[in-house]
Amino acid sequence: MSLYADSSYPVITAIENIHADQFDQLRAPGTWGTSKQRLAIINEARQSAYRAGTLEKPINPGIVSDFELSGVARRVVGRLAVSPKDMDQQFYNEAIEDGLSDAQYVEIVGLVSRFMCFDVFARGIDIPLRPLPSANSGLPSEKRPKEAVVEKAWVPTIPNFPEGGEISRVLFGPWQPYIMRGLSLVPEEFSAHFNLEEIQYMPSAHFLEFDYQHHEGLTRPQVEIVAARVSALNECFY
């Protein structure tokens, strides 16, 4: 059965496929967290949203990880899930002082932002949140790119090519702005976000083609108006 088979609204196949793929990827360990840890992060994000009243708890939440997150991890997840506009450099610094590594922080940011996107999408098409999958065994790779350095973000990022070496050319092509490279300390999270944005927003190859229309029924200017208005309502500093 497809991920959104119970939706009364038609869902573009490419969107449904990438959402389903990224749910399925939760079964495997990530870069800094096991599958159980990553599932616990998504569950904690959902619990925070239930308490805040921004999401409705489904009858079937799927597998609930029995892994107990640290207090600092829960604090970061909760803020991300409910009030990301209130995350500043002091909040980040305190999370690092309290035991998270910069790379763990980036992986949490990547996970929560992607799966809150999926949950809000489900709410928007009036279906229950999708159940979480079961965890597979295995250890995280803990591979930190040696090319990552502190540029203008709070966390280290991989510079564009040539400064970022071959990995930057593989990940970014000729160039990517900071807003895209922000998760590159954990390349798997960068790639997951990039692949999602290529479908939900538009293929990056067409970004400077202002008459390009990726979504049926929405022109490029209309897409940008919606994006800007939602960002303003969310108090996104970008």
pLDDT digits (tens, 9 = 90+) for 46-70: 999 999 999 999 888 887 888 999 9
The CB-side HSE value for 145 (13 A sphere, CA atoms) comes to 24
Give the pLDDT of residue 219.
94
Question: pLDDT tens, 134-163?
Answer: 999 999 999 999 999 999 899 999 999 999
Predicted pLDDT at 165:
97
Residues 223, 129 share a domain: no
Asked whether residue 174 is domain-assigned, the answer is no
Q: Look at the alpha carbons of 67, 102, 52, 194 in this order and tell me if their dihedral is positive or negative.
A: negative
For residue 235, give the DSSP letter: T
Is the peptide bond preceding residue 162 cis, with omega within 30 degrees of 0?
A: yes
Tell whether 102 and 10 lie within a shared domain. yes
- Which tens digit of pLDDT belongs to each residue from 85-135? 999 999 999 999 999 999 999 999 999 999 999 999 999 999 999 999 999
Percent of residues, the chain, with pLDDT higher than 90: 86
Angle among Cα 54, 58, 63 to the nearest 5 degrees reads 115
pLDDT interval class at 235 (50, 70, 90) = confident
Q: For residue 183, is it within any domain?
A: no
Decide if pLDDT at 221 tops 80.
yes
With pLDDT > 70 as the criterion, what percentage of the chain qualifies? Answer: 100
- Rounded to an integer, the average pLDDT of 188-209 is 94
pLDDT exceeds 80 at position 1: no
How many domains is the chain built from? Answer: 2
Q: Please check whether residue 167 lies inside any domain of the structure.
A: no
70 within a domain of the structure (yes/no): yes
- pLDDT, mean of residues 196-221: 92
Query: 215 in helix, strand or coil?
Result: strand
What is the overall mean pLDDT for the chain? 95
Q: Does residue 236 surpass a pLDDT of 90?
A: no
DSSP assignment, residue 149? B
Average pLDDT over every residue of 161-189: 95
Tell whether the model's pLDDT for residue 32 goes beyond 80. yes
Task: Provide the pLDDT for residue 237.
Answer: 76
Whether residue 23 is contained in a domain is answered as: yes
| Same domain, residue pair 131 and 213 | no
**Sequence-distant (≥ 6) Cβ neighbours of residue 67 within 8 angstroms:** 34, 36, 37, 39, 40
pLDDT band with cut points at 50, 70 and 90 for residue 80: very high
CB contact set of 83 (below 8 Å; sequence gap of 6+) = none
Is residue 238 predicted with pLDDT exceeding 80? no
Domain presence at residue 211: yes
Q: Please check whether residue 180 lies inside any domain of the structure.
A: no
Listed residues 123, 140, 157: the one ending a domain: 140
- Pairwise CA distance, residues 24 & 223, whole Å: 29
Range of the domain at 61: 1-140
